[in-house]
Chain A
Amino acid sequence: KQEVTQIPAALSVPEGENLVLNCSFTDSAIYNLQWFRQDPGKGLTSLLLIQSSQREQTSGRLNASLDKSSGRSTLYIAASQPGDSATYLCAPSNTGTASKLTFGTGTRLQVTL
């Protein structure tokens, strides 16, 4: 059974800092991995999707990397802004069950002025 761990559970940084969120998963036979953002009381918004054959994916100030063999992914946020404050969730899907995601409990990020 796939298990996903996200470290740290919570993070507070001043505006402008670059930061890294970590995700580890136990079963490396993944189809793809997604990073989501969730604002309080809201649904999930997909940030980046990395296919199992890719090493990284970039969107604006966000960069996600994937090391499938070691069961790790990182989300790098450059020049953080108060609007980045949210919970970030990592979710791999396994080969053969590509429509099913396994979620970590997330990293709650607060970016202060």
Chain B
Amino acid sequence: NAGVTQTPKFQVLKTGQSMTLQCAQDMNHEYMSWYRQDPGMGLRLIHYSVGAGITDQGEVPNGYNVSRSTTEDFPLRLLSAAPSQTSVYFCASSNLGTQYFGPGTRLLVL
């Protein structure tokens, strides 16, 4: 099993550009989440999903969209990138037990 995979590993965007961060898991987990990690603030939940077709907002959802058309994939879309979205983004999955995290995507918005 590959576990949780994320692409790209690193991305530089200009303010106003849009992009999609990809996340996939091969463990047949129902629950998937996106977090961002900023220095001194810990990880904060952006959006999460409890199954295909079902998503909800976390603590810091503004500026991000998600969808979950399949159990395996949970992409995160930045609609119009802002410097405040410079961060490291982690995707996670679980079946209400241990949460498994991907390796992260480092995003720099100029």
A: which residues have CB within 8 A of B? 4, 31-32, 34, 36, 42-46, 49, 89, 91, 98-106
**Contact yes or no, B90 A44, CB < 8 A:** yes
Interface residues of B, dominant DSSP: strand
**Contact yes or no, A46 B100, CB < 8 A:** yes
**Contact yes or no, B101 A43, CB < 8 A:** yes
Interface residues of A, dominant DSSP: strand
Besides A104-B42, A105-B40, 14 more A-B contacts (Cβ < 8 Å) are A4-B42, A34-B98, A43-B90, A43-B103, A44-B43, A44-B101, A46-B101, A91-B99, A99-B50, A99-B94, A99-B96, A101-B45, A103-B42, A105-B42
Is B102 located at the chain interface by the 8 A CB criterion? yes
Complex CA distance for A83 and B103, rounded to whole angstroms:
19
What is the total number of residues of chain B having a CB less than 8 Å from a CB of chain A? 24
Complex CA distance for A106 and B50, rounded to whole angstroms:
27
Q: What 1/0 flags go to B70-110 for Cβ under 8 Å of A?
A: 00000000000000000000101010111111111000000
Q: What 1/0 flags go to B27-41 for Cβ under 8 Å of A?
A: 000010101000011
